[in-house]
Amino acid sequence: MLPREAKKYLYDMAEAADLIAQFTAGRTFEEYRVDPMLRSAVERQFEIIGEALNQLLRQEPGLSERISDASLIVAFRNRLIHGYASVSDEVVWGVVERYLPVLSNEVQDLLAGDK
C-alpha cells in the first residue's frame, strides 16, 4: 500500500491529466495555437504533473518502472518552467495527443491497484 503522500501526488497527476483532457476536448491544434489562455492552462497542468511525479519518485523511486517515460515527463516539466521561451506548441500538442492518455491510464491503474 502506498503512503498517503504518494497517493496525493498520484491524485494530483490524475486531476491535472483530466483537466488537460477537458481543456483540449474537441479542440484542434490550430485552436490551441492561437488561444493563449488554453496554452497557458494546458502548460500549467503539465507543470503540475511533472512536479507531482518528481516528488512521487523521490518517495517511491520504484514507481518509475510503472510510469512510462517518467524521467522525460519530469524533463518536460522543467522545460516548460525553465525554458518557457522555447516551448514548442507542436511538441505540447503532440504530448497531449500521444502520451497523455498513456500516463492517465498508468496513474489510474496505480491508484486502483492501491485500494
pLDDT per residue as tens digits for the range 22-65: 999 999 999 999 999 999 999 999 999 999 999 999 999 999 99
Assess whether pLDDT exceeds 60 at residue 115: no
Ramachandran assignment for 68, one of left (phi > 0), alpha (psi -120 to 50 degrees), beta (any other): beta
Residue 83 is predicted with a pLDDT of: 94
pLDDT band at 114 (very low <50, low <70, confident <90, very high): low
Percent share of the chain, pLDDT over 70:
98
The cell numbers describing 8, all together, are: 496525493
Res 108 pLDDT > 80? yes
Which residue from 14, 24, 25 is spatially nearest to 92, judged by alpha carbons?
A: 24
Mean pLDDT, all residues of the chain: 96
What is the rounded distance in angstroms from the CA atom of residue 25 to the CA atom of residue 45?
A: 15
pLDDT digits (tens, 9 = 90+) for 54-95: 999 999 999 999 999 999 999 999 999 999 899 999 999 999
SS3 2: coil
97: exposed, middle or buried (Cβ count in 10 Å: 0-12, 13-18, 19+) = exposed
Please write down the long-range contacts of 76-81, taking CB distance under 8 Å and 24 or more positions apart: 76/46, 76/50, 77/46, 77/47, 77/49, 77/50, 77/51, 77/53, 78/50, 80/43, 80/46, 80/47, 80/50, 81/47
